[in-house]
Amino acid sequence: MKLIVTARLQDRANTTKLTSVHIRNETLEWIENNTTGNNQATINYLLMRGIESLKEEGDGVLVDDIASVSSQIFGE
């Protein structure tokens, strides 16, 4: 499976906010190995799909150990 992102963020001044976040190494490694194209649009797409998935579940989610979640997703 490969995610190919050719989209570009449009009207960034009015639709985005520049922010700095720490992204786990294994997450960035997955993105590097499984996607091609615009990294900003890729990360925004993955965030939106994650939010969509949580909304569909409808239950509350407690994340108290991000390393544990990472291990579950990436198998490390």
Contact between residue 38 and residue 6 where contact means Cβ atoms under 8 Å apart: yes
pLDDT(9) > 70: yes
Q: pLDDT band for position 76 (50/70/90)? A: low
Task: Please provide the average confidence, as pLDDT, over all residues in the chain.
Answer: 89
Q: At what angle do helices 25-34 and 39-57 cross, to 10 degrees?
A: 110
Q: How many CB atoms lie within 10 A of CB 30?
A: 16
Tens-place pLDDT, residues 22-59: 999 999 999 999 999 999 999 999 999 999 988 888 87
SS3 percent helix, strand, coil of the chain, rounded to 5, is 55, 10, 35
pLDDT score for 33: 95
Asked whether 7 and 41 are in contact (CB, 8 A), the reply is yes
